[in-house]
Amino acid sequence: MGESETTTDVSVDQFSELPPFIIHHIMSRLSVKQSAQTSILSKRWKALYTSFPILDFYESYTYFTGQNRWLILVVENNVKELDFEVQTNSTYRMYTLSQTIYFAKSITSLKLGGCKLELPYGDIRLYALKSLSLDKVCVTEEMLQKLISRCSLLEDLHLSFLALKHIYISKPQNLNYFDYRVSI
């Protein structure tokens, strides 16, 4: 080498320099177990894993301890969009969704499928909810009416395969889109 040539052997961790949204996108392509394993890469990746906005329950019910603890995290971390679907073979043993969901003030889009909604003990506080989708959800007419009437910003309502004889929607102040599908 000549006098003007110098070499530096510095290894740069280019993955840790990626912006959080790209790291979250990478994690979304991995299984929950693999995403958890990325937390050993660096302190930054560990912090990003704990803030990972996608939970894959189809694969990983066992990764979460305590019934409905994950839903408390959704409420505490001000999640904006929640898409929750339970795959079940039986209509008699449906998963009853925790009433914690009714206190998620920051949720703007809520998609629920294959679960059961019960009347809340307190008030429904889905103040930011703009889009609601219920697919194969066990819900009473009274519960559906209460849910819809407490969501004053609701713009889009999608209902499919609900076992209801009547649907009554009152006070749809901002409702722009309503879609109701039944099984034939």
pLDDT tens per residue across span 106-165: 999 999 998 889 998 888 999 999 999 999 999 999 999 899 988 989 999 999 988 888
pLDDT band per the 50, 70, 90 thresholds, residue 6: low
pLDDT band per the 50, 70, 90 thresholds, residue 173: confident
State the Cα–Cα distance between residues 57 and 84, nearest whole angstrom. Answer: 9
- In order of 4, 5, 7, 91, 156, the CA distances from 1 in angstroms are 8, 6, 9, 76, 69
pLDDT tens per residue across span 151-160: 989 999 999 9
- pTM, 2 dp: 0.67
Q: In this structure, what token pair is assigned to residue 101?
A: 């969901």
Q: In this structure, what token pair is assigned to residue 79?
A: 């999640």
State the Cα–Cα distance between residues 100 and 148, nearest whole angstrom. Answer: 17
Query: Could you tell me if 20 and 48 are in contact, meaning their C-beta atoms sit under 8 angstroms apart?
Result: yes
pLDDT tens per residue across span 27-63: 777 776 777 777 777 777 777 766 665 555 554 444 3
Task: Tell me what the mean pLDDT of segment 71-91 comes to.
Answer: 78
Map out the domains of the chain as residue ranges: 13-63, 67-184
